[in-house]
Structure 1
């Protein structure tokens, strides 16, 4: 929604324009399902005219679409995310993992600079998110490994990370600036590729596990047969 014409995508194209009968992406979705959660990601990139629509929604609780129908937003939760001031948050965490007051104030100043006062004044709450901790990253690794094992379920093969290998993946793959996405790529390039080579180059029995471990050269893998898996 970075262009001026993208407002018509929210509330619908005006009469005589292509897409008039389709309705707006926002208004039509809420009209059909008024008890909804609407997420606007990276809202700072939206065109200023988009905020005019949001002002009406946040202030009045309803908006009129291009076909003249009033769409009620009173039962709708609207969440907007922004990366404004994220650098202050990364540098403004104290030893307890909490956001320092100075960093929080700099983020709010950044918001005041970018957004109009009447827009910020209509928000119920502004929440500052803390950067992911090492424990959070460990949970993300577990989720990514669970997804990988779900893909291997049909072959009755599983992949496990040793504690040392998990710590190594976190240290090598996580970047505080870019979040968890580099970690996902690291697991794909190193853990998945390593496991794929083992699967293609070895004869693996059903129920076996590929255990990824850490040695002096990085990550290595070995096959654990079903009997050993049960014993472990």
Structure 2
């Protein structure tokens, strides 16, 4: 796995997953740690993707934390990637390539979390997240742009971050 292929946000999520595993006393980094890492370093993209997939992000986070609590705790030893977490991180660059992106973004990690058979993919599917809904949300989020730099996520919905849409406010 080449971390240089990952955007800054994705790298932060992976590092956060490692820290979460350490904090919980877990020996292996599992998909649940990756999901929690993504949720802790990214607020905008994840919230947008789950809203468009008609899934409740807070309930997903709660369920994921429940599964984190149930993982076995170990003292000492080296921390390592579990087989499923490793598969997620190995599949994400392939997803990026299929989408025409040069870097692995948070969206690719979400797709990989959904596609690789794990407790997290089960949680996401239980809350109604599908590959089609996630891909549609990503297309809407990106509006045709590609991940061509390590800071690609920063450009999504930049207008929404720094301005108010008066048409949407009036409609509400």
Give the structure-1-normalised TM-score.
Answer: 0.21
The structure showing larger relative contact order (alpha-carbon pairs under 8 Å, at least 6 residues apart) is 2
Larger Rg: 1
Between structures 1 and 2, the one with greater strand share: 1
Between structures 1 and 2, the one with greater helix share: 2
